[in-house]
Amino acid sequence: MIRRAHPTIHPKNTGNGGEGQVSRLIVHPTAGGRVRGAHNCGSCDAEVVAAIERYAVSGELEEFDGLSCECEKAWAEEISLEHALPTPLGISKTRRGNVLDALRAP
């Protein structure tokens, strides 16, 4: 979301306070590392949350440089499937809920 919004907010890519800045994107990932907040696989959560918080202060996309984790490939595949299948949003693994609960009779 930040990478998509950045060119609109900073059309000259100058960061917060720079020339041509349209607005400021302030992002504070509440519950970072938890299911309801910004999270990934667990091992890279702290680094990603810290980069998001740094971006809110600096407005520089470089805050995300060097972030890499194996879970990104799985995430991209889940997003691709969500966009490709004619089903409602929320089919990815973490949003489906407990499989056993879904199989139990009401």
| Cα torsion angle, 13, 16, 22, 25, sign | positive
Q: Which range marks the domain in which residue 28 is found? A: 2-103
Q: How confident is the model at residue 91 (pLDDT cuts 50, 70, 90)?
A: low
| pLDDT value at residue 81 | 79
Report whether pLDDT(32) > 90.
no
Q: How many domains does the chain have?
A: 1
Compute the distance between CA of residue 40 and CA of residue 31 in angstroms, rounded to an integer.
Answer: 12
| Cα torsion angle, 37, 40, 46, 48, sign | negative
- Residue with the bigger pLDDT between 47 and 80: it is 47
